[in-house]
Structure 1
C-alpha cells in the first residue's frame, strides 16, 4: 500500500477513523490494531468484563468523542462476545425513526430479558440525557447513572469506566510528559519495516516517488522534531486547555503530512483544527528578541552571512531536499526551533537555543512541583513575586504607597483610600493540599494573618504576574486573564479592609486613621 493511502486513514473524516461492527476488512482492522496503544484504562476495562462473566451487569464505557471508546471495544469484542453484548456507540439508533434514548431503552430491555452482560460506549452528554429521559422501566439504571455523576460511584446493576479518569499526561521531575502522545508518534514514524507507514515510505521512495507527503514524513521522522512537537502539544494543553484525543491527534498528524508546505510552516500557520489554531499562538516568529529581529533584517538584506548559509546547506542536506532558502526567514526560524536539539556540525543554532526555551511553562511546572514537595524557596519566591505584582497593579496611580505596605482600596477624585496589607504564605494550606492538577494550583496566602478565599493560579495568570513585574501594563488582548487577576486583587482588598489602619492620600500628604480600640488616632505625614 502507498504511503498516501495509509496517511489518508489518519484523517478524522476517513471511514476508518471510528471502529464499527462492520469494520471487518483486513486493511481496516490491521491499521486499527497497529495504531492502537495499550493504556491503563484497557486493563481496568478487561477486568470489568471478566467480572461480568459470573454475574451480568451493564458496563458504561464513558468518554468524549475521539477518546477511543470504539477502538477499545473493537479490540476486545471478539474475546467477550460469548457472554456479553456490545452497544458500541450510544449516539446511534436502530432505525431512522428511533432516537438514541429509545435505542438505549431497547438495549436495556434486551439486557433484562437475557443472561448476558451489556457494554455501552457512551459520551457524558448522552449519559446525562438518559438519566433524565430514559424509560421508567429502567429507573434502576438511571439511578446508577445519577449516583455515578453525583458521587463518582454506583452500587447497583451498572458499572462505569471513564476516559476522563485516565490522564494522557504524567508529572515527573518537574516536567509534564505524555507517553501516550509520544508512543502514538512513534507508531507512525518509527524507522522500522514492521511499521506499515515507514515500510510504505521506503517502498515509494525505492520506486522513485518523492512527493510532498514523503518530504513531510521524512522531516517528522526525526526524533528531535517529534519531541519538540509533543512539548508544544503539552504546552497548548496547559495554556489553553486544548483537548487532545487519539482521533484529534491522528487527524493532526494527517494535517502535517498532507500539507503542501513543510511541517515547520504548517505547525504555525495552519488553521485546520483547534490544535493548529492554538499552535499559531506559540509561533517562534512571534518572539521579540534582539537576535531574532537581527536575523530577520540581515536575512532579507544583501549582506553576506556565511554562518547562516553554511547552516542552511547542512540542514537541507540533513532533510534530503532543498527545504530552506535564505529569503524565507519565517521558515528558517521555525525550522531551527524544531531542530534545536539536533546535533549539527554548524554551531549557528546554538545562539538561539536559550531564546527558544519554554521558560514560562518550565517555571509554572516548577511552582506546581514545589507545592507537591513543599519546596520553601520556590514557594516563597513565587509569593514574593505575587505580592510585588499585586501591589504594583493595585497602586499604579500611587506607587509610593507600596513601600509602606499600603494598598489602594478605592480612588475618589484625587484622593486614595488605603489600608495596611501584610502578605504571608499559608504553609498549613500547602501542607494539607494534595496537588493533582497540571493546569492550576491553589493560592495559599494569608492577608493580615487571615487565609485568602479559594483562588487557583493558571499558567496564564502566572505569566501575567511575571509580565507586570517586568513593567508590562496589560491591554485589551489580556482581558480574560486580567479579569481573573483583578478578582484575586478584590479578595486581597476585602481582607485588607479589616485592618485597624486607614490612610487617605492626596498629592504628597497622607492622613492616617488608626483604631486603637478605645479611640481613633489621627496623624498627618508626607506620603
Structure 2
C-alpha cells in the first residue's frame, strides 16, 4: 500500500527494517526522526574531550535494550567526521565475531588494550566507543575474564553504573574510562507541575508537523486528503488528525509517565515508536495487505468496530497485545469509580440520544465527523458499552472545557508526583507533609493504638483479641542527606524516594525505606483508616522490617502499654523504667 499513510506509519513498528540500527548506515528517515537528547550532548562532550586528550580512553555508552544506544552512535558517526578516525566503535556487545566464540570472548578481544596489565604498561593503542547493555556489562565483569579487568570493574563500581543511583559523568582526565548511562534518563522529566517530555513530545511532533520534510504529513496530504476513496471512513486518518492536537499529545505523555512510575514499566524509545503505531492503526487493519481489501473492510465495519479502532480506545486496550504495556489497563479511566461517573453511566444506558451526551463532554471538533456521528447513532444495544468506554476515554484526551469534571483524576498519584519532584530536588521545605504522613502510617501499620498517638502496636506472637501491647516511640525525619539542587526541570531522577528516620534516644541509628508509588498508595490508604492485611505485609516486607528496626532501636526506657479488653470494658497497664528503681508495672 505505497499510496497510503499506513505504509509510511509501518516504519514505526519494531519489526520494520527502520528499527534495526547499523553504525555504517543512517538513512534519511532516521535523520528526520532523530531527536536531540541531553545524553547526546553529554556523549558529544566526552568525545571532544577524549579527542583533545593526550591519552586514549574507553567510553562506555550504557543502557537497557532498545533505549537508543546504537541509534545514538549511528547518528554521531553520521554527523562527526573524525569519529571513526579517533575511535573504534563497537555497537553491539551481545554479538560474537566468530561461531566458535561467545559474546564475552569477543568483548574481551575488543577491550584487550584496557586490561589491567596493558594499562600498567602503556597508553591504550586506540580509544573505544562501546555501546553495552547494563546486563551484559554486569555479566562480563563476572565472567572468566573478570580478573583481567579489575580496573574497569572498580570504575564501574565507583560510579555506581550498575546501581539505581544517579551519578555525574563529566570527563575525568586521570581515568582511562568514561561513561554515559542512558538508564539515568527516563522518557520524561519531572517538574513541580508534573511530567514533561522533550523526547515524547518531539517524537509526536515528528509524526504530525505540517512540513514538507515530514514524510508522514506528506503521505497524509498526498493520499488521505487527495483521492483516497476510503479516507472518509478510515480510522487511521481520523487518529492521525487527532494526534495533531497538542492536548492529545500532552495526554499521551501524561499517561506514559504514569504507567512508568506506577508499575515500573520499562519503555524504550523503540518500544515507544511501536506504541505510537499501534494507537493509530488497529490490529485488524494492520493485517490487511492492500488498499483494495482495506476499502472493502471499511465498507463492512460495524459501529462498534469503528469506535474500537479510534485512538483513545486503542491506547488503553493495547495491553491486550503487548506484555510490556499490560498494566495500561490499570490506568484506564473506565476502571475509575465516582458518583459523577455512576450517574453518567445510568443516564447513558437509558437515553435515546447518545450523541447528545457525547456533545456535552467532548470537544465538538473531535466528534463533529460524519463517520463518528453515524457510528454513535447506529450503535447497537450489544455495543453500547463500547460507546460508553469511548465517551470516557475521549473525555481524558479532549474534554469540553465548559464541562463539569467526571472526577477521574488520581489524587494520590498527583501527590506522589509532587513529592517525587521535591525529594529528587532536595526541597526540604515542601517535604514536611510527606514525612508526617509516612510517620503516621508507621504508627498505624499494626493497627491504631488503644492508648493514644506516638505508639506502635507489637505483635505478641499469635493472633488474639484480648490484649494489645503498644510501644511508645518518637520517630523523627532525617533530611540531612538530601542535596538541594533547585532545578525547575529534572532530567535525571530516581522514580522512587528513599526516606530516612531517626529515633529519639538513639539518634546515631539512621533507618531508611524506599518508597515507590504502590507503597506510597498503601500508606496513604492506611492513614485514611485501611488496615494492611497479610498479603500487604508480604508484598511490603521491607516496610515491616523498618518498623521492627524502629522498635529494636527505640529507647528501651520508653513506656510499654498493655491494654486488656473484656467486652465493652478495657483496662490499661504500663511498664515504666526508672534509672534508680528499675522497671515498674502499674495500672493506669
TM-score range, shorter chain: 0.7 to 0.9
- Residue 51 of structure 1: how far off its partner (Å): 4.0
Deviates more, 1:114-123 or 1:73-82: 114-123
**Whole-angstrom distance in 1 between the partners of 2:481 and 2:333:** 40
Q: Secondary structure at the match of 1:183?
A: helix
Is residue 2:578 matched to residue 1:516? Answer: yes
Partner of 2:67: 67
- Checking the alignment, whether the CA contact within 8 Å between 1:18 and 1:70 is kept in structure 2 is no
Is residue 2:227 matched to residue 1:221? Answer: no
CA 4–455 in structure 1, closer or farther in 2 if over 3 Å, else same: same
- Residue 106 of structure 1: how far off its partner (Å): 4.1
- Checking the alignment, whether the CA contact within 8 Å between 1:87 and 1:119 is kept in structure 2 is yes
- Unpaired segments ≥5 residues, structure 1: none
How many residues matched? 504
Of 221, 245, 251 in structure 2, the residue corresponding to residue 202 of structure 1 is 221
Of 143, 152, 156 in structure 1, the residue corresponding to residue 150 of structure 2 is 143
- Residue 356 of structure 1: how far off its partner (Å): 2.9
**Whole-angstrom distance in 1 between the partners of 2:495 and 2:273:** 24
- Unpaired segments ≥5 residues, structure 2: 160-168, 284-308, 485-491
Note the 1:142-161 alignment, pairs <5 A. Answer: 142-152=149-159, 157-161=176-180
Note the 1:250-329 alignment, pairs <5 A. Answer: 250-260=273-283, 261-271=309-319, 272-302=321-351, 308-311=357-360, 314=364, 316-318=366-368, 321-322=371-372, 325=376, 327=384, 328-329=387-388
**Whole-angstrom distance in 2 between the partners of 1:384 and 1:275:** 35
**Whole-angstrom distance in 2 between the partners of 1:168 and 1:222:** 20
Note the 1:107-126 alignment, pairs <5 A. Answer: 107-108=110-111, 116-126=126-136
- Residue 237 of structure 1: how far off its partner (Å): 1.7
Partner of 2:525: 467
CA 477–339 in structure 1, closer or farther in 2 if over 3 Å, else same: farther
Of 454, 457, 462 in structure 1, the residue corresponding to residue 515 of structure 2 is 457
Deviates more, 1:434-443 or 1:207-216: 434-443
**Whole-angstrom distance in 2 between the partners of 1:475 and 1:293:** 29
- Residue 481 of structure 1: how far off its partner (Å): 5.0
- Checking the alignment, whether the CA contact within 8 Å between 1:448 and 1:495 is kept in structure 2 is no
Pick 1 or 2: higher relative contact order, CA cutoff 8 A, min separation 6: 2
Note the 1:20-31 alignment, pairs <5 A. Answer: 20-21=22-23, 23=25, 29-31=27-29
Q: Secondary structure at the match of 1:254?
A: helix
Is residue 2:443 matched to residue 1:443? Answer: no
CA 474–337 in structure 1, closer or farther in 2 if over 3 Å, else same: farther
Partner of 2:266: 243
- Residue 66 of structure 1: how far off its partner (Å): 0.8
CA 65–404 in structure 1, closer or farther in 2 if over 3 Å, else same: closer
**Whole-angstrom distance in 1 between the partners of 2:454 and 2:42:** 55
Partner of 2:418: 366
Deviates more, 1:224-233 or 1:440-449: 440-449
Is residue 2:545 matched to residue 1:487? Answer: yes
CA 449–305 in structure 1, closer or farther in 2 if over 3 Å, else same: farther
- Checking the alignment, whether the CA contact within 8 Å between 1:385 and 1:469 is kept in structure 2 is yes
- Checking the alignment, whether the CA contact within 8 Å between 1:90 and 1:104 is kept in structure 2 is yes
Is residue 2:462 matched to residue 1:418? Answer: no
Of 3, 6, 12 in structure 2, the residue corresponding to residue 4 of structure 1 is 6
**Whole-angstrom distance in 2 between the partners of 1:214 and 1:382:** 46
- Residue 231 of structure 1: how far off its partner (Å): 0.8
Q: Secondary structure at the match of 1:101?
A: helix
**Whole-angstrom distance in 2 between the partners of 1:192 and 1:93:** 43
**Whole-angstrom distance in 1 between the partners of 2:454 and 2:38:** 52
Is residue 2:150 matched to residue 1:127? Answer: no
Q: Secondary structure at the match of 1:95?
A: coil
Of 159, 167, 173 in structure 1, the residue corresponding to residue 192 of structure 2 is 173
- Residue 479 of structure 1: how far off its partner (Å): 6.1
Structure 2 length-normalised TM: 0.76
Q: Secondary structure at the match of 2:575?
A: strand
Is residue 2:390 matched to residue 1:331? Answer: yes
- Residue 175 of structure 1: how far off its partner (Å): 2.8
**Whole-angstrom distance in 1 between the partners of 2:370 and 2:105:** 57
- Checking the alignment, whether the CA contact within 8 Å between 1:448 and 1:499 is kept in structure 2 is no
Give CA deviations for 1:318-337 in whole Å, capped at 9, x if unaligned: 56741763721112111111
Of 31, 34, 39 in structure 1, the residue corresponding to residue 32 of structure 2 is 34
CA 45–446 in structure 1, closer or farther in 2 if over 3 Å, else same: closer
Partner of 1:433: 482
- Checking the alignment, whether the CA contact within 8 Å between 1:264 and 1:335 is kept in structure 2 is yes
Deviates more, 1:159-168 or 1:330-339: 159-168
- Residue 135 of structure 1: how far off its partner (Å): 5.8
Give CA deviations for 1:380-436 in whole Å, capped at 9, x if unaligned: 43344334433333235xx533x2543321246422222222343x3xx32442277
Partner of 1:45: 43
**Whole-angstrom distance in 1 between the partners of 2:533 and 2:357:** 37
Q: Secondary structure at the match of 1:242?
A: coil
**Whole-angstrom distance in 2 between the partners of 1:268 and 1:287:** 13
CA 306–115 in structure 1, closer or farther in 2 if over 3 Å, else same: closer
Structure 1 length-normalised TM: 0.85
Partner of 2:450: 400
Q: Secondary structure at the match of 1:16?
A: helix
**Whole-angstrom distance in 2 between the partners of 1:496 and 1:131:** 41
